[in-house]
Amino acid sequence: MEVTAVQGDITRQQVDAVVNAANHRMRGGGGVDGAIHRAGGRAILDDCIRRFPDGLATGDAGWTTAGDLPAAWVIHVVGPNRHAGQTDRGLLLSCYSRALEVADELGARIVAFPLVSAGVYGWPKDDAIAAPLEVFRSAMTAVEEARLVAFDAPTYELIREALG
């Protein structure tokens, strides 16, 4: 699997699936979650409500339609919230491995990922970059490209450096 870094808006990526850093309720929110729900339209929320009436557990993943996004699917993951005492790195790793499993179930070959938990959930950025790279390097998946999407230039440069 090729791992690439992109600076830009995850909601505009021309990919098979976009990964959403959702909260456990899966009803929209701030950051990446809010951006995906706004850009994708009501269809994403309606599908979240229908498919996940009780939300998702931290570390888990599930998919919905992508609504008006250029992708076919949104793969929602619930990252650990360090500010709420969720410090188990295994939960963060699980977000990426479960997202790849869901992508394989869907037949998605190009998947755009945000840095899960790196925003308001307070995960240290260096580890928020190291965690997906660790999973991607050892994953047995049919995904051909895992695209790490950074909204800002400093984060993009950190990802590029980590990729070598």
d(CA 20, CA 93): 15
Kindly report the CATH number that applies to the domain delimited by 2-163: 3.40.220.10
Instruction: Report the Cα–Cα distance between both ends of the chain, in Å, rounded.
Output: 16
The residues carrying an active-site annotation are 33
Confidence band for 30, pLDDT divided at 50, 70 and 90: confident
Q: Domain coordinates of the chain in residue numbers?
A: 2-163
Tens of pLDDT, residues 115-145: 999 999 999 999 999 999 999 999 999 999 9
Tens of pLDDT, residues 75-115: 999 999 999 999 999 999 999 999 999 999 999 999 999 99
The candidate with the shortest Cα–Cα distance to 20, out of 48, 54, 49, 46, is 48
